[in-house]
Structure 1
Amino acid sequence: MDRQEIENKVWEILDNLGVIEKENEKTIIHFEEIDSIQLVSIIVDIEECFNVEIPDEYINPEFLFSFDHIVNVVAELLHDPNTATS
């Protein structure tokens, strides 16, 4: 899976919750609108969509530091055979 495909799927996951938008070519995640249930939902949706397991250290609001950060983490997990789920 290439980076653009990852970006598209992550965008879709965040957009479904209404917590992301483009503003002047910049992607903005509305952290203040994300509660703990939505954070868990985002993590679960990413795990299911990409068939990876997000390590516990990412299960916190800092995981949503930026759109690029999320995409980078997913890309890293996709290329690490130890993170694939069965």
Structure 2
Amino acid sequence: MNSFFADRLTNLQIAGNTVRLEFSVLDMVVGNNPAEPKLNVSHVLVMPLEGFVQAFNGQDSVVKKLLADGVLKSNAANPGSAG
């Protein structure tokens, strides 16, 4: 089994019964011209829609528990923000 790290899920596409998730890592620019960190796609996960929905429901349950436990704070005032 392979493991990988991603800073963000940067793209999600649905085509028929298939979901394609693109994960990216931050590349820090080093040198005389430092710029904003750039996200580069590092891995792509393709899975059936049914599996994606099941995974989403599991993640939703975890987020709700973290909110209830006070580990996360609700971002309801600004639902479009990331982070």
TM-score normalised by L of structure 1:
0.28
Q: Where is the strand percentage greater, Structure 1 or Structure 2?
A: 2
Q: Where is the helix percentage greater, Structure 1 or Structure 2?
A: 1
| Bigger Cα Rg | 2
TM-score normalised by L of structure 2:
0.29
